Amino acid sequence: MAELPVIVGHDVLLAQLREAVDGDRLHHALLFEGPSGVGRHTTARWLALVANCEDDPGQRPCGRCRACTMILAGQHPDVIEVGPDPDLATPTIPASAVRELVRLAGFHRFSARRRFVILDPADALQPAGANALLKTLEEPPAGTHFVLVVGQARSLLPTIVSRCQRTRFAPVEEASLRAWLEARGVPEAEALARAAQGSPGTALALADGALEARDDLATGLLAALAGDLQGIFTWSEGLTKGSRRDWAPRAHAALDLLEELLRDVVVQAAGADQPLLHPALQPRTEAWVGALWPSGVSRCSDALTEARRELALNVSGKNVLDAVITRFATELGAARKGGRAA
């Protein structure tokens, strides 16, 4: 039997959603907004369980009844999860899939008290698909709820956002995340909780070998950054070999790493009483402070934002990484080799 979903650090939010279900006040279109890995999708599935569990209200979800069993197995016809088409080069939800979804939503529910349609990530909707969804969000079938999972609401059409009730998922507090990891028997819980920046999903991924991979990525990226332009280009080319599906996670991880290093620069420059995300690299980021603080941090941050935008638009991963790492190298000057800025 599949286990009930475990959601860390969102007790108040879950209580509010449960109250809305029990009082028959759950909005027909919910926008779950927040960082990746904090429990947005898991909460959407939990909500479908709470609304459809056949046990007594105070015991929902039970995880044992017919409705719970089918939802947990991903087999309930009234709980529909829609994501990007894995066969497409760019991870998008095609308009044809949305039109089919709208058609199905118009049918009477099979057996559930409430139908749930979960779109994750909703910002993978193509414009035509988003427009096809608008009418249904405006006049939804009775008993049907849409849950749109997204990093930032501004990545969606304003007309979509205006039809939804926004629910913000904040990063999980480090102490809560550490306690949860320790309860699961995960080694190095403190270091993982800090590195995950409030994301239980990220913490588990790091515990499953991604932490070592992140360290290897940092070693290669910093070596490329300290070298000449040809070294940067060679490193970017190696990281983006293979299909887009293979290299895109590595490219995004490189951008995340640069953002984390920038965050450590800001912490040190401002003298903030915050632990560093990369304490082993403190001598390096400390050397970066003089070159980047404050205006260089802003320009590098803008370069990272632009790089993520271009990756979403299917721009060559090598070109994106070449540009952003070259921007960092330019801003850092001599400090990119670990020395002090002039």
State whether 112 and 233 are in the same domain.
no
Split at pLDDT 50, 70, 90, the class of 341 is very low
Q: What is the pLDDT of residue 74?
A: 93
Closest CA to 235 of 256, 250, 215, 213: 250
Predicted confidence (pLDDT) at residue 280 exceeds the cutoff of 50: yes
Predicted confidence (pLDDT) at residue 86 exceeds the cutoff of 80: no
Instruction: Read off the pLDDT of each residue in 27-33 and give the average, rounded to a whole number.
Output: 96
Asked whether residue 25 is domain-assigned, the answer is: yes
CA distance 238 to 241: 6
State whether 249 and 143 are in the same domain.
no
Predicted confidence (pLDDT) at residue 141 exceeds the cutoff of 70: yes
* Domain end position, chosen among 153, 168, 183: 168
State whether 164 and 260 are in the same domain.
no
Asked whether residue 59 is domain-assigned, the answer is: yes
Asked whether residue 304 is domain-assigned, the answer is: yes
Predicted confidence (pLDDT) at residue 163 exceeds the cutoff of 50: yes
CA distance 187 to 207: 8
Instruction: Read off the pLDDT of each residue in 24-33 and give the average, rounded to a whole number.
Output: 96
Q: What is the pLDDT of residue 342?
A: 39
Q: What is the pLDDT of residue 209?
A: 75
**3-class SS at 88?**
coil
Predicted confidence (pLDDT) at residue 340 exceeds the cutoff of 80: no
Instruction: Read off the pLDDT of each residue in 110-119 and give the average, rounded to a whole number.
Output: 93
Asked whether residue 175 is domain-assigned, the answer is: no
Q: What is the pLDDT of residue 146?
A: 96
Q: What is the pLDDT of residue 214?
A: 84
State whether 22 and 122 are in the same domain.
yes
CB 187 within 8 A of CB 70: no
Predicted confidence (pLDDT) at residue 168 exceeds the cutoff of 60: yes
State whether 269 and 141 are in the same domain.
no
Q: What is the pLDDT of residue 1?
A: 55
Asked whether residue 3 is domain-assigned, the answer is: no
State whether 248 and 115 are in the same domain.
no
- In this structure, what CATH number is given to the domain that contains residue 103? 3.40.50.300
State whether 149 and 245 are in the same domain.
no
State whether 238 and 160 are in the same domain.
no
State whether 322 and 247 are in the same domain.
yes
H-type alpha helices, the chain: 11-22, 40-52, 66-72, 95-105, 127-138, 158-161, 174-183, 189-196, 200-205, 211-226, 229-239, 244-270, 282-292, 295-312, 317-332
State whether 138 and 33 are in the same domain.
yes
Q: What is the mean pLDDT of the chain?
A: 91
Asked whether residue 200 is domain-assigned, the answer is: no
Q: What is the pLDDT of residue 76?
A: 95
Asked whether residue 197 is domain-assigned, the answer is: no
* Domain end position, chosen among 168, 197, 213: 168
Query: Looking at the 3D structure of the chain, how many domains does it have?
Result: 2
Split at pLDDT 50, 70, 90, the class of 89 is low
Predicted confidence (pLDDT) at residue 176 exceeds the cutoff of 90: yes
Asked whether residue 238 is domain-assigned, the answer is: yes
Q: What is the pLDDT of residue 140?
A: 86
State whether 59 and 155 are in the same domain.
yes
Burial class (CB in 10 A: 0-12, 13-18, 19+), 204: middle
Parent domain of 139:
11-168
Instruction: Read off the pLDDT of each residue in 223-233 and give the average, rounded to a whole number.
Output: 94
CB 261 within 8 A of CB 283: no
- Give percent above pLDDT 70 in the chain: 98
* Domain end position, chosen among 168, 189, 209: 168
